[in-house]
Structure 1
Amino acid sequence: MRSWLLVMTLALAGAAQAKEDNAQYCLVCHGSNAQGNASVKAPNLTVLPDWYLKEQLEGFQKGWRGMTPSDWHGREMMQVAKIMKPAEIEHAIAFVRQQPVAPAKVKLLSADAAHGKRLYQSCAGCHGASGEGMSAVKAPPLAGQSDWYILKQLEAYKSGERGEAEGDQYGAMMRQAAMMLGSEKDMQDVSAYLAGLPLTTKP
């Protein structure tokens, strides 16, 4: 078990033992204000709505994410999610919602965001014209998310790390959509465009 996962697991266990689950263990990986942490590939949680956070934690519990050998970041998150009870999931989401919304800064400076905008038009039917997301089709908001994280997830869908688990209907749909982005550069350009979009609604 990696050291940071051990810290997170011990933090969760200690909180449960003390009967004072304040969900601060989320910040061990996701940054001081849950704004994301590139060093451990942890996404910005502050721009994600409650329904999506809950769905992903439950998805980790079901094995929809973190099951492939190459997805070791997902495996570590899955181990954390699996020991969380429903009340702890709700408490963790409420804790994240208390953090200030912090849209990501673009990191892939060589990417062509204008090209990414054109490519994104095929994604807007689910994720919204402004990247605001659509809960009806389980499509999360993408505006303000870290570009490196969006890129990583597109790569994961294309490689089969995500979207191939039995029962993950919406993941399978996203995998098909990701396959339409032909090259690594296309994925970088889309990621850079989305990271630079302003948040139109508060999660």
Structure 2
Amino acid sequence: MKMTFIQLAAALILAGKAYAANLPALTDTCLGCHQSTVSVATGAPLLAGQQAFYLQKQLQQFQSGQRGANATDVRGQQMAAMAAMLSAADIQALARYFSQQQADTPAVAADAALLDQGRRMYIGSCGACHGAKAQGNMAFNAPALSMLNADYIALQLQHFKTGLRGKDKTDKPGRQMALISRSLSEQDMQAVAAYIGAGMP
């Protein structure tokens, strides 16, 4: 039986409303680790304000094993297990939802010399892709960094440097980050992470 345009539109609207009813449960599960009041303790990044394309891609990478497959990446394995339970529609809805939220990122103070080093590192190595204010740049597949804390940024730079991220041949942005990270010293990574985590003063 063929559906008229009006019947099809009505069916889609009803399906969307039914799905929207499930969205709060999904977001509450995410916020158990990713909200600002617990993210430092859990080591999870804040999601509010991140670009939808990037959130969607990361969840897909956790599902496919591009992220979170290494036994030494405990947090990544936790995310892979969570992502495995999501449908494609779940991923799209969560990415859209969190991208539309307002980021709540309290700036954290850091040593002035470290911040100055981080500022120089950011301008020289990061800003061209991630934006002058770490707001991200979809044209370069570069996520926003401004809502991330220093510990999370430093850990991800380490993961890129050691090959826990950015190894897959199909992940061009990840491979670019791995290449950049290998050129950074431990001090460089700590400095740029501190600079971003301090709100880029």
TM-score, normalised via structure 1 length: 0.78
Q: Return 5+ residue gaps in structure 1 as ranges.
A: 1-18, 199-203
Determine which of 145, 161, 165 is the counterpart of 2:164. Answer: 161
Counterpart position of 1:139:
142
1:113 and 2:115 correspond: yes
Alignment of 1:25-40 (within 5 A): 25-31=29-35, 37-40=39-42
Structure 2 residue runs of 5 or longer lacking an equivalent are 1-20
Work out whether 1:91 is the aligned partner of 2:93.
Answer: yes
For this pair of structures, how many residues does the alignment match? Answer: 178
Question: In 2 relative to 1, CA 176–36 (structure 1 residues): closer, same or farther, beyond 3 Å?
Answer: farther
Change in 2 beyond 3 A, CA 1:95/1:112: same
The two structures have a TM-score, normalised by structure 2, of 0.79
Q: Percent same amino acid at aligned positions?
A: 33
Of the two structures, which has the highest relative contact order with CA contacts closer than 8 Å and spacing of 6 or more? 1
**CA-based RMSD:** 2.3
Distance 2:182 2:53 in 1: 26
Is the 8 Å Cα contact of residues 47 and 101 (structure 1) preserved in structure 2? yes
Structure number with larger C-alpha Rg:
2
| Deviation per residue, 1:141-185 (Å, 9 max, x gap) | 112321111111011111111111342221111000111112x22
Distance 2:199 2:180 in 1: 20
Report the Cα offset of residue 140 of structure 1. Answer: 0.7
Report the Cα offset of residue 61 of structure 1: 1.4
Cα distance change on mapping 1:110 and 1:83 into 2, 3 Å? farther
1:111–1:149 Cα change, 3 Å: farther
- Matched to 2:127, the amino acid is A
Distance 1:144 1:27, change over 3 A: closer
> Is residue 175 of structure 1 aligned with residue 178 of structure 2?
yes
Structure with the higher fraction of residues in helix conformation: 2
